[in-house]
Chains A and B, each alone.
Chain A
């Protein structure tokens, strides 16, 4: 069983995008840290905008459409249509969800 594999995997580190991946992981960690505090809607929308931005996107209209309205529709589908409970203290405080 302890036989070395013959086919060696060559990974060219020059082509690896460390910067983008570190940014994405950091944004994901921050998203995980704040999701319970500021609520699903706001944290997810901000997470999406930040991720688009750090991946090099600058079309602000698309960035906006695919964050706040997109998350709102997604939440409506989950919470309103499929009846899946979504914990969001902020929206609850504002009286938008029960």
Chain B
């Protein structure tokens, strides 16, 4: 008893070394993000106003993380068979965490000390007074060195302690803190959304305090998240019960009426938003010229809106506007009435104790057909409503983010056909995006060399065909190339496309470095889709079509042929698949979808330059595919939201976007090559029955070399 206790108090030397290594690595990571300037850049963004900045938070997370990782590795080490000590105690774990944290703190304080001795700034441009101020909190370096080290060990200890809290408490705690950090990061966006008409201004004042969240706001967010985490497991049950009661007790007529009126209201609202209200006036010259790549700097746009350009123009005449607004008012009133009616009917029916077998089945049977249909309809309905009303709720600038996410998502769907389905790694995908944008510009802009000045819709089919043909042209020479060569060659093609767009050779047609200007906006009838909040509807339609096409193709003869080809090209060919045809088909279709994205991009900016079409676009598209999981359609959506959406929301990220993409690619390939949301497939594990069938094979091969019998 005493022996084992004593054993628990000490840790083996290898564990000590490992702990220190973890500390050193974490310290280096902390130093790294300081040196590349991340800490300082994010130091300007407060999580809690005036108290803690995002830069500090990053360092704190690293220190806590070092403690947590140290404890985790310790536990893993000890649970491996053959470990001399196989149980840790709380004290030992805290000690390990403190050690790791201490090393992190010491690394940073040594760095601060070193900056006192040598001037690093002439080489490492980010070792600025600002960074040092953040690290030392404006105190002399000699004083803070000890404080930093102590703080580091404290945080490491906290990290270790978190491991020792019961999961029941740990989960809400961690998620609550995470939501404070993430909402704090998104403060700008929160502000923009909450200042819009329709949101209560109290909310804004309560949550946000000049630079970051207010303390009260932070607490509320924390509390809300904790509450949500606790309720979360019960939500499906509540949802299920509610749906059952509705379909059992509310008359069908009423259900349908509510649905139809709701749909009418939504349609009219969207119509009003696109066609009649032009209050947000989204033509923002600064947004368009600031940066012509798909990630337009949001800050530039924000400054303009604060000037409050608000002119209400009525594009379609007063009569229509009045009509629409009347319909909206009436239908909104009707919804209220009908929902009330539903409740009354339901209560009345329940009171009456109508208990037919039918109702009993809907209330209890888990596989009730009506229930499944109703649930599907309801989720589809809410999904569509959410998608459609996002720009109305969020306004122009968040829509800009969504639009860019959509552009990349569309490219992602296209690239997925080439990479995910047909297994051809294409790193020059930007070329098709560029061809789509350029041909749209050429056909629609009245200033373009050929002066056609077509409308967007007339040009679109031609654009798609041209780009599809380009896809075939690029695909043809690389048909017989092996995978990794193909990747590099397509990368080269992407670069060649840019050189050609830039060159003097094509300047008379494509405008060289000046690009093509005056691309007219997209219009439907009299309505012009100007501004991200209106183009959003265009890109979301495009994405849905691409999603539909991808999903259908995947589960078809064509999809099977692609998949067979990507798994074993030679066998696919022997099984009767014309691989040449299917490779070209993949290139062509992929190119066509990219051209849609390019066309919207051109119409969105009104001007295109060759510099918008560099290799980084291809890499972004590839990254979002890989993060989501190659071949997985929901993965593309999540990938685009995370990899394109997040950096757009946080303008500080723009600088580090490619750095993060690079790190993400390495990390995903090393630890999770199947992606965050892998394509749904059964596990590849052999089941026991199949394993047993193979068991004899191993015995046999051990006994004599191979089961084959030759001539005797």
Tell me whether A and B are bound partners.
no
Q: Give residues in A with beta carbon < 8 Å to B.
A: none
